[in-house]
């Protein structure tokens, strides 16, 4: 399910918010952990970008690709570093 603009899935949105219960619920009901938005980012990119370590952990536990690259070749680790989310950087 995508948002109203067609650019992100619901999983992207809740990953950006760090909403662990919803992330777990969506993944448990068939959400694609590797879905891409219009910037070619995965939900893991969104969790890392927004500093949500627990969300990143849950996504990785569900087989998210740690080395996935967005349109600009940036990985979740790169985005977490760029935003200075030290906890996420240490985890990833």
Domain at 51, CATH number: 1.25.40.20
What's the pLDDT score for residue 6?
Answer: 56
Stated pTM of the model: 0.93
Query: How many domains are there within the chain?
Result: 1
What's the pLDDT score for residue 47?
Answer: 99
pLDDT less than 70: residues of the chain: 1-6
Domain that holds residue 37: 10-91
What's the pLDDT score for residue 16?
Answer: 98
* In-domain check, residue 48: yes
* In-domain check, residue 45: yes
- Measured N-to-C along each axis, helices 20-28 and 53-61 cross at an angle, to the nearest 10 degrees, of 20
Phi/psi class of residue 70: alpha, beta or left (left: φ > 0; alpha: ψ in -120 to 50)? beta
Q: Which of 86, 5, 90, 83 is nearest to 45 (CA)?
A: 83
What's the pLDDT score for residue 7?
Answer: 76
């Amino acid at each position: 399910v995508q948002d109203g603009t067609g650019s992100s899935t619901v999983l992207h949105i809740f990953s950006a918010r760090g909403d662990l219960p919803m992330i777990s619920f969506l993944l448990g009901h068939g959400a694609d952990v590797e879905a891409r938005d219009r910037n070619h980012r995965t939900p893991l990119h969104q969790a890392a970008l927004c500093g949500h370590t627990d969300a990143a952990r849950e996504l990785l536990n569900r087989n998210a690709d740690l080395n996935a690259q967005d349109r600009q070749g940036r990985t979740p680790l790169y985005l977490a570093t760029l935003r200075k989310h030290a906890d996420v950087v240490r985890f990833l």
